């Protein structure tokens, strides 16, 4: 998994690539938390994520909840792999999509 940050005029885009599984979720959780703390508008670009497990989905849910609590805007831009998992869990309407 790789994360690259891109600042635009209106938001920070975190480009996340690779597989998100239990081994990588602690690092992902920490990095997204810092991004949410430091930016008002955030997009998680997950279009190059090839695999996500339930621990990765939990990080997305926790990140979304944190953003809402801090009155931040968090949007997701999803790959088919991630969207498929969210649909199976009936969570796609829980997130704001880019």
pLDDT on residue 35: 97
**Number of domains comprising the chain:** 1
CATH of the domain at 88: 3.30.750.24
Domain residues for the domain of 21 are 2-97
* CB of 77 closer than 8 Å to CB of 97: yes
pTM summary value: 0.95
Q: Are 59 and 28 in contact (CB under 8 A)?
A: yes
Give the model's pLDDT for residue 98: 87
Average pLDDT, consecutive stretches of 10 residues, N- to C-terminus, the chain (98 residues): 94 98 96 97 98 97 98 98 96 93
The DSSP annotation for the chain comes to -EEEEEE-SS-EEEEEEEEE-HHHHHHHHHHHHHHHHH-SEEEEEEEEEEEE-HHHHHHHHHHHHHHHHTT-EEEEEE-HHHHHHHHHTT-GGGSEE-
């Amino acid at each position: 998994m790789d994360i690259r940050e891109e600042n635009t005029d209106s938001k920070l885009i975190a480009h996340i690539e690779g597989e998100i599984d239990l081994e990588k979720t602690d690092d992902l959780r920490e990095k997204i938390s810092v991004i949410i703390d430091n930016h008002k508008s955030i997009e998680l670009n997950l279009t190059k994520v090839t695999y996500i497990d339930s621990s990765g989905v939990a990080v997305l849910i926790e990140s979304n909840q944190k953003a809402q609590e801090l009155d931040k805007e968090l949007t997701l831009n999803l790959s088919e792999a991630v969207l498929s998992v969210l649909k199976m869990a009936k969570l796609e309407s829980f997130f704001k999509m880019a």
